Amino acid sequence: MTIIKVFAPAKVNLTLHVTGQRKDGYHLLDSLVMFADVGDRITVMPTEASRLEVTGPRAAGVPTGNTNLVARAAALFDIPVHIILSKHLPASAGIGGGSSDAAATLLALSDLTGDTRLPSGATELGADVRVCLMRQAARMRGIGEDVIPCPGLPPLYAVLANPGVEVPTPAVFNALQNKVNPPMPKRLPQGLNTHAFIGWLSDQRNDLQAPAIAAAPVISDVLNALSSLPDVQLARMSGSGATCFALFETEKAAQDAARLLAGQQPDWWVAPTCLS
């Protein structure tokens, strides 16, 4: 039996500038994205009748029906498959877990069928699916349809932390008072070392951070905890929350900080990672 396994990395929005809103209500974004070396896992194998099985340490509460983006991605292919989704990322956490899972499913089924063309409707599964298919540092603009690779950025050592609360994305966007904000600079940096790149990121924003904190004040606690870690260079929220990240100059500093934070907050999801 052919078995295909694909990693579904966490997506981290290092910046998220809300630059406008279309007449249909969709918000326009300008965001720099990198991917973590922590994530979910997708296993796909042929079967007589399609089914989705969810396992892993974060499987509780994850739907197995058609509301799951993995099931919807698989339905775009005309082949019955048994899919095992091993969940390691918290749900509704601002790190693109569902979109990354869907993208990994598309890649797995493309490999299984030998068809390198994405099926119709693949990138309409979610705004982040297109960038998650790219799986590398990228700039996202518009409503997620304009994705440009960003080679030449240094890897970043980070600690991800989530306090275990789900923050509804529509509510966060609706609470954003100013929906027309400056984008990132036209040209993103090239050839910077880690210290200089983090310094550049410090001058950028996540425009959703304040309304997300208003919806879930515990996010402020997470940011304060991350900002208090030894050797931290920058702490910010990813996406629409509630996952936040702290950046460090070395892998050891990030790993030591993650152990410290996990000891301080045993009920939080805490993960050291390398972003690239």
Residues 178 and 114 in one domain: no
Residues 244 and 230 in one domain: yes
Residues 209 and 174 in one domain: yes
Predicted confidence at residue 255, as pLDDT, reads 98
Predicted confidence at residue 92, as pLDDT, reads 87
Residues 172 and 183 in one domain: yes
Residues 157 and 118 in one domain: no
Residues 222 and 137 in one domain: no
Predicted confidence at residue 37, as pLDDT, reads 98
Query: Is 128 one of the catalytic residues?
Result: yes
239: which 2 tokens? 């996406």
Q: 40, 101, 128, 207: which is the annotated catalytic residue? A: 128
**pLDDT band, residue 47 (cuts 50/70/90):** very high
Residues 48 and 31 in one domain: yes
Is residue 73 reached through a cis peptide bond, with omega within 30 degrees of 0 on the bond before it? no
Residue 93's domain is classified under what CATH number?
A: 3.30.230.10
Predicted confidence at residue 11, as pLDDT, reads 98
Q: Which amino acid is at 166?
A: E
What is the pLDDT averaged over residues 157-185? 94
Residues 77 and 133 in one domain: yes
- Domain end call among 124, 148, 172: 148
Number of residues that this document lists for the chain = 276
Residues 108 and 19 in one domain: yes
Residues 128 and 191 in one domain: no
pLDDT digits (tens, 9 = 90+) for 220-248: 999 999 999 999 999 999 999 999 999 99
Query: Is 11 one of the catalytic residues?
Result: yes
Residues 41 and 128 in one domain: yes
On the question of pLDDT at 1 being above 90, the answer is no
Domain ranges, residue 196? 151-275
The number of domains in the chain is: 2
pLDDT digits (tens, 9 = 90+) for 176-206: 999 999 999 999 998 999 999 999 999 999 9
Predicted confidence at residue 97, as pLDDT, reads 94
Q: 11, 40, 101, 207: which is the annotated catalytic residue? A: 11
- Domain end call among 92, 126, 148: 148
Nearest partner of 40 among 92, 84, 94, judged by Cα: 84
What is the pLDDT averaged over residues 112-130? 93
Residue 183's domain is classified under what CATH number?
A: 3.30.70.890
On the question of pLDDT at 168 being above 90, the answer is no
What is the pLDDT averaged over residues 71-77? 97
On the question of pLDDT at 30 being above 80, the answer is yes
Question: What's the CA gap between 205 and 183, in Å, rounded?
Answer: 9
What is the pLDDT averaged over residues 127-151? 96
Residues 192 and 60 in one domain: no
What is the pLDDT averaged over residues 106-126? 94
Q: Which residues pair with 140 in a beta bridge?
A: 31, 147
- Domain end call among 148, 164, 186: 148
On the question of pLDDT at 39 being above 80, the answer is yes
Tell me how far CA of residue 147 lies from CA of 81, 134, 141, 205, in angstroms. 30, 9, 6, 19
On the question of pLDDT at 110 being above 90, the answer is yes
Whole-number mean pLDDT of the chain? 96
Predicted structure pTM score: 0.96
Question: What's the CA gap between 272 and 162, in Å, rounded?
Answer: 12
